[in-house]
């Protein structure tokens, strides 16, 4: 059995037959996971320096030189590396006095932080499978982003106390701006307007307080909250829809969960995207007391000024590992990254490797290299590679760069 | 930006995610990414046909994509774009104190155009400047 590192569900029941450099029969992979496994043979990065193909040793020397000569290097990415590679990367960051940030900085970070600091209750996905009777997909669409979430854990399966699965024992509620594929199969769909989540949370708290909510369709909201209250084991799965909409009113999530927990039992599991983003946030928290946006320039400090959005303006070189910020950040920020010397460590070619001064191809973890990672609920999952590869792992590359300093 | 202003919300599409896993430079990734999905009421109001090219004009930039009739209606006034280097042309660099970009609450106008969708290699050249 293999583990799929295509998303943070880290499905452990994958069977793949790889025959002579081609994908054969597979079992249990979702569409996204299948693409992830097929990527072993597609669009691989090649070692390069200044746009020309280079030897791996030359690329590593050049990378070490760029980072050593930078006054303020940024190390960004992290979420697609194993726990051991993340630890090795942090040793490098300390040595360089680098600014460190990961993808959580522009997505789930603030909710993951509340969970890791135990400010809001959480549970594992195995608890969800065994006990949950209400799953709320709030601004999340697992049918698209984490395709096996509903079948392995949150809706369809039989569990210890949920022997009748979705037919009788479980209710799925989706709150979203669009009738997403998840909304389509949920028992209840509540439409929210863009930016309207804070108002909706306040209205829900009003209902829970026994007051009349200030919304257009009062009956629909009261019925929704009544169903939420009936739950004996409810779980909220916040997606990017909630993350972005509540980012200015973060306290409302705590207030809602606290209120729900007065009459029921509710937990929160953030719908982390990349397979080991939670692992990085936990590793950094253990080492520094912060989950992201850390500078090692002068001791250890953290703050919004060390976010990738700001670091792109103030740093003078970047090491990007297992991430493609030139694709995923706003164009103006991508342009700033493209304008500085970038070292890209990645299994695949992407926009970031194509702007990079140095490209170091890595073995894809879970596909060609083993290790371990934290699933979206914090459970550690160990895995091996499924094919042999001559490419170095992230861990080896980071150690070699550190030696090269 | 007057009466035709729309909210633009980015989202993840499983077919696009699969194509992305298999390579950012494929035609399939472009076809599934450079898209805006509109409620049928908005398609009608703007006089657009499914598959027609449109310019999405925001405060931070303009991008040409293909208009599609949404199958996730109703969401009048809300335009949906898969999160990609095309949609990121519309996301401003400026943020509030959270330093999280506004990926899901953008404003823009949508107008029919004869211009072509830029391939990802061209977007990249423009980023390199």
**Do residue B74 and residue A144 have CB atoms under 8 angstroms apart?**
no
CATH at residue A263? 3.40.228.10
Measured between alpha carbons, how far is B3 from A53 in angstroms, rounded to an integer? 52
- Do A284 and A333 fall into the same domain? yes
**Under an 8 A CB cutoff, do A330 and B92 touch?**
yes
> Which of B61, B100, B125 minimizes the C-alpha distance to A338?
B125
The interface predicted TM-score of the complex, written ipTM, equals 0.96
Query: Do residues A137 and A209 share a domain?
Result: yes
Q: Do A146 and A257 share a domain, yes or no?
A: yes
Contacts with A105 from chain B: Cβ below 8 Å = 99-100
A contact test, residue of B8, B19, B24, B40 with most A CBs within 10 A = B24
Using a CB-CB distance cutoff of 8 angstroms, which residues of chain B are in contact with residue A334? 85, 88, 127
Output the CA–CA distances (angstroms, integers) from residue A77 to A82, A84, A317, A352, in the order listed. Answer: 12, 15, 14, 11
The answer to the question of residue A19 being in a domain is no
CA distance A39 to chain B (A): 5
Judge if A135 and A90 occupy the same domain. no
Which residue of chain A has the CA closest to B63? Answer: A331
Interchain proximity A36–B70, CB inside 8 Å: no
Other Cβ atoms less than 10 A from the Cβ of B6: the count is 23
Provide the CB-side half-sphere exposure for B99 (13 A, CA): 20
Cβ within 8 Å, pair B14-A181:
yes
Min Cα distance B109 → chain A (Å) is 16
Distance from CA of A153 to the nearest CA of B (A): 19
**A151 contacts A139 by C-beta, under 8 angstroms:** no
- What share of chain A has pLDDT > 70, as a percent? 100
Token pair belonging to A365: 């973890």
For domain B6-128, give its CATH number from 2.40.40.20, 2.30.130.10, 1.10.510.10, 1.10.20.10: 2.40.40.20
Q: Smallest Cα–Cα separation from A139: which of A269, A239, A248?
A: A239
B104 to chain A: which residues are within 8 Å by CB?
177, 194, 240-241, 244-245
Count: domains in chain A: 2
Residues A140, A86: one domain? no
A93 and A146 in a single domain? The answer is no
Q: Within a domain: residue A383? A: yes
B12/A144 touch (CB, cutoff 8 Å), yes or no = yes
Residues of B in contact with A38 (CB under 8 A): 21-22
The partner residue sitting opposite B78, judged by closest CB among A32, A144, A194, is: A194
Contact indicator for B39, B73 with CB cutoff of 8 Å: yes
Q: Do B85 and A143 touch (CB under 8 A)?
A: no
Cross-chain residue pair A329–B101, CB shorter than 8 Å: yes
Contacts of A107 in chain B (CB under 8 A): 100
The reply to whether A176 and A293 lie within a common domain is: no
CB proximity list for A335: less than 8 A, separation 6 or greater: B127, B129
What is the residue extent of each domain of chain B?
A: 6-128
Tell whether the model's pLDDT for residue A309 goes beyond 80. yes
Nearest-angstrom CA–CA distance, A358 and A344: 6
Domain boundary among A268, A284, A308: A268
Rounded-to-5 percentages of helix, strand, coil across chain A: 40, 20, 40
**What would the pLDDT profile of A67-92 be if each residue is shown by its tens digit?**
999 999 999 999 999 999 999 999 99
DSSP label at A104? G
- The reported pLDDT for the residue numbered B2 is 45
Terminal-residue alpha carbon distance, chain B: 28
**Chain A residues near residue B78 by CB distance under 8 angstroms:** 177-178, 193-194
Q: Which residues of B touch A307 (CB under 8 A)?
A: 99
Per-residue pLDDT tens over the stretch A99-136: 999 999 999 999 999 999 999 999 999 999 999 999 99
Query: Which tokens sit at A177?
Result: 């701006």
Position B34 pLDDT exceeds 60: yes
pLDDT tens per residue across span B56-115: 999 999 999 999 999 999 999 999 999 999 999 999 999 999 999 999 999 999 999 999
Residue A33 domain-assigned? no
Question: For A326, which residue in chain B has the nearest alpha carbon?
Answer: B85
Contact A363, A385 (CB under 8 A): yes
Three-point CA angle A344, A326, B114, nearest 5°: 140
As a whole number, mean pLDDT of residues A195-221 equals 96
The answer to the question of residue A20 being in a domain is no
CB contact under 8 A, A31 and B18: yes
CA distance A119 to A25: 45
φ and ψ at residue B57, rounded to 5 degrees: -105, 115
- Closest chain A residue to the Cα of B94, Cα to Cα: A309
C-beta atoms of A106 and B101 within 8 A? yes
Interface contact B17-A327, CB threshold 8 A: no
Q: Provide the sign of the torsion angle of the four alpha carbons A146, A152, A156, A160, taken in this order.
A: negative
Cα–Cα nearest to A81, from A284, A280, A352: A280
Residue by residue, DSSP assigns A5-71 as -SSTT--S-BEEEEETTEEEEEES--HHHHHHHHGGGSSB---EETTEE--HHHHHHHHHHHHHH-S
- Chain A's closest residue to B96, CA to CA, is A248
Q: What is the pLDDT of residue A20?
A: 77
How far the first Cα of chain A sits from its last, in Å, is 39
| Interchain CB contacts (distance < 8 Å): A and B | 158
Distance from CA of A36 to the nearest CA of B (A): 5
User: What pLDDT digit, counting tens, does each position of A138-150 carry?
Assistant: 999 999 999 999 9
Phi, psi of A309 (to 5 degrees): -60, -40
Residues A258 and A116 placed together within one structural domain of the fold: yes
Q: Are A93 and A166 contained in the same domain?
A: no
For A404, the token pair is 């090269």
Note whether B104 contacts A247, CB cutoff 8 Å: no
B88 to chain A: closest CA residue: A330
Contact by Cβ (8 Å): A317, A70: yes
Cβ A35 vs Cβ A15: under 8 Å: no
Which residue carries 């030897």 as its tokens?
A55
Report yes or no on A218 lying in a domain.
yes
Indicate the residue among A219, A234, A268 that finishes a domain: A268
Task: With a cut of 70, say whether residue A208 has pLDDT above it.
Answer: yes
The pLDDT assigned to A22 comes to 82
From A225, A248, A268, give the residue that closes a domain. A268
Q: Are residues A232 and A316 in the same domain?
A: no
Task: Using DSSP, state whether A240 is helix, strand or coil.
Answer: helix
CA distance A220 to A226: 10
Cα A184 from Cα A240, distance rounded (Å): 18
∠ CA A144-A136-A193, nearest 5°, is: 75
Distance from CA of A210 to the nearest CA of B (A): 30
Is the pLDDT confidence value at A261 over 80? yes
Mean per-residue pLDDT over chain A, rounded:
97
State yes or no: cis peptide before B74, omega within 30 of 0: yes
Q: What are the backbone angles phi and psi of residue A4, rounded to the nearest 5°? A: -90, 125
Q: Are B107 and B7 in contact (CB under 8 A)?
A: yes
Q: Is A312 found in the same domain as A263? A: no
User: Which residue range forms the structural domain that includes residue A358?
Assistant: 45-105+274-404
Give B129's pLDDT tier (boundaries 50, 70, 90).
confident
Rounded Cα distance between B53 and B36, Å, is 10
On chain A, the residues whose CB falls within 8 A of the CB of B91 are: 330-331
Indicate yes or no: CB of A338 within 8 angstroms of CB of B100: no
Identify the CA nearest to A242 among candidates A141, A325, A341, A318.
A141
Q: CATH number, domain at A61?
A: 3.40.50.740
Asked if residue A194 has pLDDT above 80, the reply is yes
Q: Which chain A residue is nearest to residue B22, measuring alpha carbons?
A: A39
User: A350 and B101: CB-CB below 8 Å?
Assistant: no
Tokens of A397: 């590359």
What integer best gives the mean pLDDT of chain B?
95
């Amino acid at each position: 059995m293999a583990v799929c590192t295509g998303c943070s569900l880290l499905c452990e029941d994958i069977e793949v037959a790889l025959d002579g450099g081609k994908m054969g029969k597979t079992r249990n992979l979702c569409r996204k996971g299948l693409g992830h496994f097929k990527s072993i043979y597609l669009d691989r990065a090649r070692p390069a320096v200044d746009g020309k193909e280079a030897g791996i040793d030359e690329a590593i020397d050049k990378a070490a030189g760029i980072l050593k000569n930078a006054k303020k290097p940024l190390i960004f990415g992290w979420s697609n590396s194993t726990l051991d590679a993340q630890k090795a990367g942090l040793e490098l960051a300390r040595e360089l006095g680098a600014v460190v940030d990961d993808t959580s900085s522009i997505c789930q970070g603030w909710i993951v932080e509340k969970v890791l600091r135990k400010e809001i209750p959480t549970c594992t996905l195995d608890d969800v499978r065994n006990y949950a009777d209400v799953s709320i997909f709030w601004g999340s669409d697992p049918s698209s982003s984490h395709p096996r979430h509903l079948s392995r854990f949150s809706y369809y399966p039989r569990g210890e106390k949920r022997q009748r699965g979705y037919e009788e024992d479980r209710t799925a509620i989706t709150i979203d701006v669009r009738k997403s594929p998840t909304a389509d199969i949920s028992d209840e769909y509540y439409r929210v307007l863009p930016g309207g989540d804070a108002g909706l949370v306040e209205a829900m708290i009003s209902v829970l307080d026994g007051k009349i909510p200030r919304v257009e369709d009062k009956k629909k909201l009261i019925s929704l909250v009544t169903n939420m209250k009936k739950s004996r084991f409810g779980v909220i799965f916040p997606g990017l829809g909630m993350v972005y909409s509540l980012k200015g009113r973060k306290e409302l999530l705590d207030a809602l969960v606290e209120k729900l927990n007065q009459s029921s039992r509710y937990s929160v599991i953030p719908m982390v995207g990349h397979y080991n983003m939670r692992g990085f946030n936990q590793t950094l928290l253990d080492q520094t007391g912060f989950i992201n946006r850390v500078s090692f320039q002068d001791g250890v400090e953290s703050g919004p000024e060390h976010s990738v959005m700001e670091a792109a303006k103030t740093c003078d070189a970047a090491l990007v590992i297992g991430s493609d910020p030139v694709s995923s950040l706003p164009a103006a920020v991508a342009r700033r990254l493209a304008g500085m010397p970038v070292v890209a460590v990645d299994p695949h070619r992407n926009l970031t490797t194509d702007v990079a001064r140095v490209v170091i191809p890595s073995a894809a973890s879970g596909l060609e290299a083993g290790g371990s990672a934290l699933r979206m609920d914090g459970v550690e999952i160990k895995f091996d590679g499924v094919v042999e590869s001559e490419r170095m792992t992230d861990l080896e590359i980071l150690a070699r760069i550190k030696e090269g300093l | 930006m007057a009466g035709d202003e729309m909210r633009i919300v980015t989202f993840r599409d499983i077919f696009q995610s699969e194509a992305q896993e298999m390579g950012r430079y494929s035609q399939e990734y472009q076809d599934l990414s450079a898209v805006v999905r509109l409620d049928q009421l908005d398609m009608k109001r703007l006089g657009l046909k499914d598959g027609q090219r449109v310019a999405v004009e925001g405060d931070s930039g303009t991008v040409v994509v293909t208009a599609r009739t949404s199958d996730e209606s109703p969401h009048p006034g809300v335009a949906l774009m898969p999160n990609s280097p095309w949609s990121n042309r519309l996301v401003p660099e400026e943020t509030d104190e959270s330093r999280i970009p506004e990926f899901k609450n953008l404003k823009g106008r949508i107008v029919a155009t004869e211009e072509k969708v830029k391939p990802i290699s061209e977007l990249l050249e423009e980023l390199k400047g």
